[in-house]
Amino acid sequence: MKDLFVFVADKNMEFTLKGGLERPESLGIRPITFEIRQHPGRDGGMRTSGAQIMALEASRFRNALMVFDYEGSGASESSQDLEARLDAALSQQWGDRAKAIVIEPEVDIWMWGGDQVLATILRWGRTESIREWLSSTGFAFRSDGKPERPKEALEAVFAEARRPRSSANYEKIARQISLARCTDPAFKRLQETLGRWYPVEVGSWDGRGDP
């Protein structure tokens, strides 16, 4: 039996989570076995049928996560209410072994953990920083320094650097950014859930995450 089943909405999310889960020390968890699968209906499909599909896997995995974007899901309720409703649906088959993670607005917000990582992967050649360039082209930023429209901002910098916004690059970013410093609420819920399920064993690595 594998430790974790992860049900996601698209390929970019799959590769992002793969890159993160293969860094257990940075997440503050023990190494785990996992399987990631995509819902063919993307974010909207995750909202409407994700919990029912995941019920079929309850006997094959110790735990499960369903992860998708609030943006594009077609939800009329808040992201918090949607996540709570899906948690309740998952609990019917999984009990406390499964958790829904609804990312607001979208997984691209997790890619903004550090300009230097982005600049290295993109081979950013401008003298101004990525955020300085985005500001000069009209992008607005939140109080935490992340773009208000993270997906569109990422598309813009990839296009400016003439690099593909590919799933492989999402994985590269997830493998290099500081997971310990990520303050996005959805990511913190994911990290806290994994920490509860897969704590670091006593006498092994101390679990403090990356610097």
Q: Where are the domains of the chain?
A: 2-107+178-197, 110-167
The pLDDT of residue 170 is: 95
- Label residue 180 by pLDDT band (50, 70, 90): confident
Q: What angle in degrees, to the nearest 10, is found between the helix axes of 167-176 and 115-122?
A: 140
Of the CA atoms within 13 Å of residue 167, those in its CB half-sphere come to 9
The pLDDT of residue 115 is: 82
Rounded to whole angstroms, what are the CA distances from 167 to 38, 52, 66, 103?
A: 13, 27, 19, 18
| pTM summary value | 0.92
Range in 27-31, 113-117, 129-133, 186-190 with the lowest mean pLDDT: 113-117
Q: What proportion of the chain, given as a percentage, has pLDDT over 70?
A: 95
Q: What is the Cα–Cα distance from 44 to 172, expressed in whole angstroms?
A: 27
Rounded to whole angstroms, what are the CA distances from 183 to 63, 70, 114, 157?
A: 24, 18, 12, 22
The pLDDT of residue 144 is: 87
Chain-centroid distance of CA 43 in Å reads 13
Model confidence over 70-126: pLDDT tens digits?
999 999 999 999 999 999 999 999 999 999 999 999 999 999 987 889 999 999 999
Place of tokens 């300009």: 115
Maximum mean pLDDT: which of 98-102, 145-149, 175-179: 98-102
The pLDDT of residue 207 is: 47
Whether the Cβ atoms of residue 69 and residue 43 lie closer than 8 Å to each other: yes
Whether the Cβ atoms of residue 47 and residue 82 lie closer than 8 Å to each other: yes
CATH architecture, domain 2-107+178-197: 3-Layer(aba) Sandwich (3.40)
The pLDDT of residue 12 is: 96
Model confidence over 13-38: pLDDT tens digits?
999 999 999 999 999 999 999 999 99
Q: What is the Cα–Cα distance from 203 to 211, expressed in whole angstroms?
A: 20
Model confidence over 65-85: pLDDT tens digits?
999 999 999 999 999 999 999
Span 149-168, average pLDDT: 95
Q: What is the Cα–Cα distance from 186 to 107, expressed in whole angstroms?
A: 9
DSSP E strands in the chain: the ranges are: 2-8, 34-38, 61-69, 98-103
Name the token pair of 152: 């569109």
Q: What is the Cα–Cα distance from 79 to 163, expressed in whole angstroms?
A: 32
Q: What is the mean pLDDT of the chain?
A: 94
Radius of gyration from C-alpha coordinates of the chain: 17
